[in-house]
Structure 1
Amino acid sequence: MPEFLKTYVRVVEKCNRWIGRATMYLIFVLMGVLLYSSVSKVFFWPANWTLEMAEFIMVAYFIVGGPYSLQLDSHVRMDLLYGRWSPRTKALVDCFTVFLLIAYLIFMLYGGISSTSYALEYGETSYSSWSPYMAPIKIAMVVGIFLMLLQTTAILIKDIAFVKGEAIQ
């Protein structure tokens, strides 16, 4: 494998590892928002922003943390045949099926960028009573999809190297 591809894989994986580990702490922010929501409903006036904020945090948690999950190979996979295959067969099959994921991510990225630019240009807000701006969560989604695309290409490069007998660490 050319050195620039090895460097690409290392840089993408280091970046996604750092971002993924930082994103893991959003679960505590989510717990705080939901705890505040529960306490405010019982003891104070119910806050109208907590449910939607919890949804935004959960979206950021899954979308931005997704590339790290993909890197760790801890995502859900249909294991009817795949689990019985040798590592080389798995890598070979992944080299072909990854193109479906890349195509899907490209469409998602295109739609996300279009939606984000609309939200930024027109100051799009949610239709809830809280009515927050949608641009921040849409930007987080575009960043997460872009990182997922980078991680997917890094995995493709690693699979090709593995099939060729040149594992990249």
Structure 2
Amino acid sequence: MHPMIAAYVKWTDRISDYVGYLAASLIFFMGGTLLFDAVTRNLIRMPVHWAVELTQFTLAAYYFMGGPFTIKNNEHVRMDLWYSTLSERGKHRMDLATSGCMIFYLGVLLIGGISSLIYAIETNEKRFSIWNPSVIPIKALLVACLVLMLLQCIGEVFKHIDALRRERHA
């Protein structure tokens, strides 16, 4: 693998790991928020209306941030019944084909995400609820995570091409 490409792959892997571990830590924040809500609602009899909604936003962030980490660690959903019968070379070829589809899909999602973020910024979009929070931060996070997922998918393409080249020369 060319040194520049290897550095790119290493960089995207490291960023995806960092973001993935940060996402994993959000589970404690969500648990704490829900516990706080339960205590204030049931023991103090003073419900906080923002706790469940904040947990929903945090759960969305958890999913967005976990995407690149999942792709990097090859833990995404696939049809293993057929995939497991392929040779290593066949698996790399199949992964290249599906990576191409995923890059296209993520590109379309990114275009929609950017459009939605621009709209949210222009209109100062808020969620209709008692708390009435802005949706700009969660939409910005979605766009950032989609960019990272695209970068990670491109890194995976480089890894599969390198594996096919090494296998051919072996």
Shorter-normalised TM range: over 0.9
Q: Which residue matches 1:146?
A: 147
Runs ≥4 residues deviating over 3 A:
none
Q: Which residue matches 2:78?
A: 77
Following superposition, the deviation at residue 74 of structure 1 comes to: 1.6
Within-5 A mapping of 1:1-169 = 1-43=1-43, 44-165=45-166
Q: Distance in 1 between matches of 2:11 and 2:138?
A: 25
Following superposition, the deviation at residue 84 of structure 1 comes to: 2.1
Which structure 2 segments of 5+ residues have no match? none
Deviations 1:133-166 (A, max 9, x none): 0000111111111111111110011001111117
Which structure 1 segments of 5+ residues have no match? none
Secondary structure, in 3 states, of the residue corresponding to 2:66? helix
Farther off after superposition, 67-76 or 54-63: 67-76
Deviations 1:72-99 (A, max 9, x none): 1122222121122222211111111211
Following superposition, the deviation at residue 61 of structure 1 comes to: 0.6
Q: Say if 1:64 and 1:143, in contact at 8 Å, map to a contact too.
A: no
Farther off after superposition, 24-33 or 34-43: 34-43
**Given the two structures, how large is their TM-score scaled by the length of structure 1?**
0.93
